[in-house]
Amino acid sequence: MNELSTQELTRHIDDSNTVLIDVRPIAAYNGWALHGEERGGHIPGARSIPLQWTRYMDWIEVLEEKNITENRSVIVYGYSAKESDEMAVTLRELGYQDVAVYNGFVNEWSKNAELPLNKLPRYQHLVYPDWITQLINGGTPPHYENDNYVICHAHYDHIEDYNRGHIPGAVPLDSNSLESTETWNRRSAEELRKTLEKLGIRHDTTVVIYGRFSSPVYEEEKFPGKSAGHLGALRCAAIMLYAGVNDIRILNGGITSWETRDLPLSTEASKLIPVDDFGADIPVHPEYMIDMPEARQLLAAEDGALVSIRSWEEFIGNQSGYHYIEKKGRIPGAVFGNCGSDAYHMENYRNFDHTMREYPEIQQTWEEGGITPDKHIAFYCGTGWRGSEAFINAWLMDWPHVSVYDGGWYEWCNDPDNAIETGVPDEPVFKE
């Protein structure tokens, strides 16, 4: 196996015909120092393909999606020579001819402050199963400096999902307690305060949140959202940030990532320990949620964009996307943000194991569509779930002016004063 030195690797980084593959866990790629390395993150330009993905039958499709073709030179690195060699051998068996390995990441690259490392700016808020394990076992996981936490198992009016198995110590969080069942907008400040206090959450409580995703089928389910628990968890996370919870931690991949590690689940309900005072005036971050007047202003602004996190079929008006929304179409002037196949899936923002897609990939896709961090970006969908997941992605990237247009298509299409467009737009929009 051809092993490159650090000096040799630096000469390849800017070569457009060479692709660098990071086979470490995606948490390490994002910035967590999982093996005690002096600096966390990934080598600039590297693509994240964790070695564990090769255990899945359909992982080869990821190579195609990331344009890692057989005619390109490939350099593999990980935490150990064993990891790198295993991926390199696998690629050679698939027909890749020019494959090399780099085994100096821990002992050379991460130790040298002059060598660049990239990381997700708010990676500490996207946690991994072992981090939570340390927390619930009474330890102090990395980047945790609190003595007060609540773990929330989010669901949509589906307590059975919590009862079938949850992370030990987690309390159930019904998304309906944070958003109205009439408008699907965030609830009032007073309602949010009561819900959070009942859960035992203050503004300075560390909240760990996750859900279960079990592939809802729109045509077969009256309430597909009940099977999209992790999507609902990200909606809840966005509302909590709006309310003023300082320290949100999202389990990357939801409970799937916990179950993949064969970590224990509990079927015993955890006792709620309410608090008397949230400790801050809600909302602490009103800028994270906008309503229709602000959405209209944003459509007219040169330094802003209203981004539709919906499927192409919804965007062009072939379907509304929801059993309870009759009208079809899009908001005129909205930018297409392409969630994936339907209202309950976010394939274009997730890996196949439900972890968040590597952030440089999402940022590049957005920039190709004119969605850039120098603008005020407001994401929306039908009722707020998908828009909230896109918002969380931008928030983790530390984009300075991001919001959720809370009312979304449901609110917009039910106002007779609002224009609606259908069909393929005259102006080009980004579409994968």
CA-atom Rg of the chain in angstroms = 22
Q: Does 88 score more than 90 pLDDT? A: yes
Q: What is the pLDDT of residues 277-305, one digit of tens each?
A: 999 999 999 999 999 999 999 999 999 99
Give the type of residue at 83: E
- The torsion region of residue 178 among left (phi > 0), alpha (psi -120 to 50) and beta comes to alpha
- pLDDT for the residue numbered 131: 98
Label residue 260 by pLDDT band (50, 70, 90): very high
Asked if CATH classification 3.40.250.10 holds for the domain at 2-119, the reply, yes or no, is yes
- Cα separation of 145 and 20, whole Å? 35
Other Cβ atoms closer than 10 A to 217: 11
- pLDDT for the residue numbered 274: 98
Please state which CATH number belongs to domain 287-413.
3.40.250.10
- pLDDT for the residue numbered 217: 82
Give catalytic residue positions: 381
Q: Does 169 score more than 60 pLDDT? A: yes
Q: Assess whether the region 2-119 and the region 287-413 belong to the same CATH fold.
A: yes
Q: Does 429 score more than 90 pLDDT? A: no
- Give the orientation angle of helix 229-243 with respect to helix 189-199, to 10 degrees: 110
Q: Does 190 score more than 70 pLDDT? A: yes
pTM for the model stands at 0.97
Residue 409 phi/psi, 5° resolution?
A: -60, -35
- Average pLDDT of the segment spanning 197-206: 98
Determine which of 63-72, 217-226, 316-325, 332-341 has the lowest per-residue pLDDT on average. Answer: 217-226
Q: Does 159 score more than 80 pLDDT? A: yes
- pLDDT for the residue numbered 428: 61
- pLDDT for the residue numbered 276: 97
pLDDT, the chain, mean: 95
- Average pLDDT of the segment spanning 165-194: 97
- Cα separation of 18 and 99, whole Å? 10
Omega before residue 283 within 30° of 0, cis: yes
- pLDDT for the residue numbered 432: 38
Label residue 430 by pLDDT band (50, 70, 90): low
Q: Which CATH superfamily includes the segment(s) 124-284?
A: Rhodanese-like domain (3.40.250.10)
Label residue 431 by pLDDT band (50, 70, 90): very low
Q: What is the pLDDT of residues 383-426, one digit of tens each?
A: 999 999 999 999 999 999 999 999 999 999 999 999 999 999 87
Q: What is the pLDDT of residues 93-138, one digit of tens each?
A: 999 999 999 999 999 999 999 999 999 999 999 999 999 999 999 9
Please check whether residue 181 is in contact with residue 258, taking contact to mean a CB–CB distance below 8 angstroms.
no
Task: Give the domain ranges of the chain.
Answer: 2-119, 124-284, 287-413
Check residues 220 and 156 and name the one with the higher pLDDT.
Answer: 156
- pLDDT for the residue numbered 1: 72
Label residue 14 by pLDDT band (50, 70, 90): confident
Q: Does 188 score more than 50 pLDDT? A: yes
Label residue 216 by pLDDT band (50, 70, 90): confident
